[in-house]
Amino acid sequence: MNKDIPSTNESDSLLTPPEITKIAKETTANLLPNKSREKYTNTYDNFMKWRSEKKIKSLSENVILAYLTELSHTHKPSSLWATYSMLKSTLNAKNNINIHNYPKLVPFLKKQSQGFKSKKSKTLTAEEIKKFLHEAPDNKYLDLKVNIINIKINVYIV
């Protein structure tokens, strides 16, 4: 835990034997998703660096709201939601702080999302896929063609 930020359960930590505290810390470190742990950690570290640069000690709702507001000038709403979600997990795991209970954050994110249309990836039609498989040069696209065929086979099997 960060020494600048007191735990919400300081009395518990004083009464808990060190070996139990160690087990709890190791378990807590494994709560973040394995595949994206690095991304979660980077998001947390960026937030903590921002706090440090601003000389902010607390993790109050207003601090997180100010951080998200700054990010909103350069990030899309979908990225803000992802940042909120990753901070929610990491702050809970590392600092025992549940920002889900902060009532201003979700309405702020919803307001940022109003009128935002995310870009949708183009989906190829069956005819376009068939044309690609027949006309694209094998010397350049053979691996991709094999992957497409495998995907089609798996769709029919499953």
Tens-digit pLDDT profile for residues 122-138 = 887 888 888 988 899 99
Of 94, 81, 83, nearest in space to 30 by CA? 94
Is the distance from CB of 93 to CB of 32 less than 8 angstroms?
Answer: yes
In terms of pTM, does the model score above 0.85?
A: no
Percent of the chain whose pLDDT exceeds 70:
88
Highest mean pLDDT: which range of 42-51, 120-129, 132-141, 148-157: 42-51
Model confidence band, residue 22 (pLDDT cutoffs 50, 70, 90): confident
Tens-digit pLDDT profile for residues 49-97 = 999 999 999 999 999 999 999 999 999 999 999 999 999 999 998 898 9
Q: What are the tokens at 12?
A: 């518990």
Q: Residue 18 and residue 5: Cα distance in Å, rounded?
A: 19
